[in-house]
Structures are given as C-alpha cells and as structure tokens.
A = this chain, B = another copy of it.
Amino acid sequence: MTGTLFGIGLGPGDPGLITRRAAELIGTVPVIAYPALDGEESFVRSIAADLIPGHVREIAINIPMTVVREPAQAAYDRGSAEIAKALSDGDDVACLCEGDPFLYGSFMYLHARLADRFRIEVVPGVTSLTACAAKAGMPLAARNGQLTVLPGTLPESELERRMDVADSLALLKVGRHLQKLKTVIERLGLLERAIYIERATLAEERICPLADAPESAPYFSMILIQGTPDPWL
C-alpha cells in the first residue's frame, strides 16, 4: 500500500486560520514536507510549528531564489523524489503550503511530478486574497461584481492593459514591483482607491492607503483596489 500525499493550505500566516482538517492531518501523518527558501528557516513550517509532533520525519525542500527555470526544477525533482520514496514505503506525507496550494503555490510543481503515480488530496486553505480583504475591511466582490487577480511580476504594459478593464483588482507578489505598480495605478486614476497590505494576519501586519506605502515592499504584500460599488449597498 503506497501512502497518500496531502497538499495542505495553511492560510496566510495566523495559525488560527489553519483549518481543522489541516490541523488533524499535520498531527497524524508520519512525514511532513515543506519548502524552505535558500536554506532559510521555512516560513510555512513556522505557521504550523505548534501542531507538528516531535517524532515525525521532516522533508525540507530547499528552493533556490531564482528567476531561471533549471535550478528550481532540479529542487522540485529532488523534493518529489524524496516524497515519492516515503509514499512508496507506505507513509502518508503532508506537504505544507502557504495560503492555498493551487493559488500561486509551489505545491503544483510537486503535484505535476507525482499525480500520475500517487493518490493526492489537496486541502484548500484561506488565501492571502481574502485575508487581506478581511483585514482591510474591503469587500472584494458582490452580486455582479468581478475580481481580477494579477501578479505584480507582469510587464508594465500587460498590467496596464488588464487593469484598465478590470472591476475589483488584487495585485499579488508586490515586493520589488511596488514602484512599477504604483506608476500604472496612478496613470489609470486608481490611486485613491488602492490599499496596500503587507504581512496580513501576522504581528508585523501593515495596512495603509497605497499613497502612504513605504518605498520598498516585502514579497508578502498586496494591493487591493475596489471596483464599482455594489448598487445594493
């Protein structure tokens, strides 16, 4: 009997936003896997730290911070090989994921490598998207409202083209793209409605109008822009 791979969304960072199913799985599986960036302490492991029993085996997948494909591919190859070994030995493996595994999550690279050979269950988590909206007190969409989710990594022209026709907007992965995003937002006349949120639900959380945002933003930051107000409000 081979084991099951659980891809578990842990939410944006507040351990209270872990689901009951996620907590139960973390407390019972014999092997826990998670990504760690460039040998640093794993952020996602810290979210669930209190739930991880002392005796479990841990697989840290060391992901190089890179914009080129090959070194990242090699890291996921190594990580999935180690997970495959545990699954083949009959052990269930819980892979911890920030936010939700399938919304800009690196779990999909493991999923792509293992789904044809092993049983996989994805446990959805609270996304940073709705966590940021909750903390900012900003409804994302109602009734006929529309929501467009764009990564800040897109080229300026592509961002402008998409944002110009969007209703409500969520711009993720702001980080070093903050000034580019701010330029486009100002040009489209959206600055007054734009809210900046960094490290939502963590102790270091910061929320302010985008106009008052700091010069540089961490990777875990987001800009929300509310669309047409709901006519029913």
Residues of A within 8 A of B (CB): 7, 9, 11-12, 14-21, 23-24, 69, 72-73, 100-105, 108-109, 111-112, 115, 120, 122-127, 130-131, 133-135, 137-151, 153-154, 162, 165, 230-233
Contacts and interface: CB of A to CB of B under 8 A. Distances in A.
A127 B128 CA distance: 11
Q: What is the copy number of this chain in the assembly?
A: 2
**A-B pairs, 10 with minimum CB distance:** A16-B21, A122-B134, A108-B139, A100-B130, A147-B149, A124-B130, A124-B134, A102-B133, A102-B139, A124-B131
A69 B19 contact: no
A11 B165 CA distance: 30
Nearest to A19: B17
Given A9-B130, A69-B232, A102 B140 contact: yes
Contact of A151 (B112, B134, B146, B148): B146
Contacts of A146: 148-151, 154, 162
Contact of A16 (B20, B109, B115, B134): B20
Contact of A127 (B21, B130, B144): B130
B16 A18 contact: no
Contacts of A112: 233
